[in-house]
Amino acid sequence: MSGDNIIDGKAFAAEVRARVKAQVDRLVAEHGLKPGLAVVLVGEDPASQVYVRNKAKQTVECGMRSDEIRLEATATQEEVLAVVDRLNADPGIHGILVQLPLPDQIDESAVLDRIDPDKDVDGFHVVNTGRLQIGLPALTPCTPRGCMMLLHDRLGDLSGKHAVVVGRSNIVGKPMAMLLLHANCTVTIAHSRTKDLPGLCRQADIVIAAVGRPKFVQGDWIKEGAAVIDVGINRIPKEDGKTRLVGDVDFEAAVGHAGLITPVPGGVGPMTIACLLANTVTAACMAAGIPEPQVTA
């Protein structure tokens, strides 16, 4: 897939990982500090297992410590919380990620809130959420951070641009809106009850699609020359009975209108793990009182 208006997230993520590795090498050489990331996986969800495996592989490739803690799908909430408590107390672990979704018997919010905010490399803890809200330094959710890096790389200064965020989740939509606001955009958050969503999107210089519905955003919703960041990852059936990945945007219909657009796969997805690694370096530097290296654009 090629085209001047198509953002190659895979290539950009590789550049970010290379910068992360360079900073890890410097931290080890100059400070004896090896950042550590622990991932907790409960159950055997196939997609989660793939994500965890990729995270572990890329963590090690960047020179960091990688711990995987796997629990049975029948694990109790107390068992999961005990693992989080142990990782919170481990000085060699600087980042903790509990892979979602969790089994039904476990209170997701209780587990995420138990993570030390300074080790919350997913950026989901209420402390980091609040710090982001008011513009204080915070560990930022990885997917929105990756989206902002892609936008800044191709557009530079975003001041004054009208951004429409389609989706209001705590993981993507809300933090995405905050980051865009901090970049001096005019931001509209759209959702299932928004009136005339197509008309609203047609006003946008930047459209962020994060609704979890395949090909929801249509091509004629996109203003000529607008930037489109597609966060969606949806599996739809093919004629041969298999499935393929598509985003929340009808890519084939939108690519002719957009000035910039991320494909699915190969757009935002690779940036999420790259930003997780960058957040782990940030957390390690914070714990050691070392000025944060510039690992991102």
pLDDT tens digit sequence for 141-151: 999 999 999 99
Residue 32, φ and ψ in degrees, nearest 5? 65, 25
What is the overall mean pLDDT for the chain?
94
Residue 153, φ and ψ in degrees, nearest 5? -65, -40
CB 59 within 8 A of CB 121: no
Domain with CATH 3.40.50.720 in the chain: 142-270
Which residues have a Cβ under 8 Å from the Cβ of 149 and sit 6 or more positions away? 12, 16, 271, 275, 296, 297
Task: Please indicate if the annotation marks 233 as binding a ligand.
Answer: yes
Q: What is the arithmetic mean of pLDDT over 249-278?
A: 97
DSSP state of 134: H
Domain with CATH 3.40.50.10860 in the chain: 32-121
Confidence of residue 181 (pLDDT cuts 50, 70, 90): very high
Q: What is the pLDDT of residues 48-84, one digit of tens each?
A: 888 888 999 999 999 999 999 999 999 999 999 999 9
- Percent of the chain at pLDDT > 90 equals 88
Q: What is the pLDDT of residues 24-54, one digit of tens each?
A: 999 999 999 999 999 999 998 887 888 888 9
pLDDT at 295: 52
> Quick check: 297 pLDDT over 70?
no
Task: Please indicate if the annotation marks 167 as binding a ligand.
Answer: yes
By C-alpha distance, which of 88, 148, 104 is closest to 283? 88
Residue type, 30: E
Residue with token string 């191709």: 154
Q: What is the pLDDT of residues 90-133, one digit of tens each?
A: 999 999 999 999 999 999 999 999 999 999 999 999 999 999 99
Q: Is the pTM of this model over 0.85?
A: yes
Q: What is the arithmetic mean of pLDDT over 271-291?
A: 95
- Decide if domain 142-270 falls under CATH 3.30.300.130: no
Q: Among 16-25, 47-56, 210-219, 272-281, whose mean pLDDT is lowest?
A: 47-56
Task: Please indicate if the annotation marks 145 as binding a ligand.
Answer: no
Residues 44, 46, 51, 55: is their CA dihedral positive or negative?
Answer: positive
Task: Please indicate if the annotation marks 95 as binding a ligand.
Answer: no
pLDDT at 293: 63
Return the SS3 of 186: strand
More confident residue, 226 or 44: 226
By C-alpha distance, which of 258, 227, 233, 87 is closest to 171? 233
Residues noted as catalytic: 55, 99, 122
pLDDT at 36: 98
- Percent of the chain at pLDDT > 70 equals 97
- Helix ranges, the chain (H): 9-31, 46-61, 77-89, 108-114, 126-134, 142-155, 173-182, 197-201, 251-254, 268-288
As a whole number of angstroms, the distance between CA 247 and CA 139 comes to: 26
More confident residue, 2 or 8: 8
**CATH node for 32-121:** 3.40.50.10860
What count of other Cβ atoms lies within 10 Å of the Cβ of residue 184?
A: 12
> Quick check: 10 pLDDT over 50?
yes
By C-alpha distance, which of 140, 188, 167, 279 is closest to 234? 167
CB 256 within 8 A of CB 226: no
Give Dmax over CA atoms of the chain in angstroms.
56
Q: Alpha carbon 167 to chain centroid distance?
A: 15
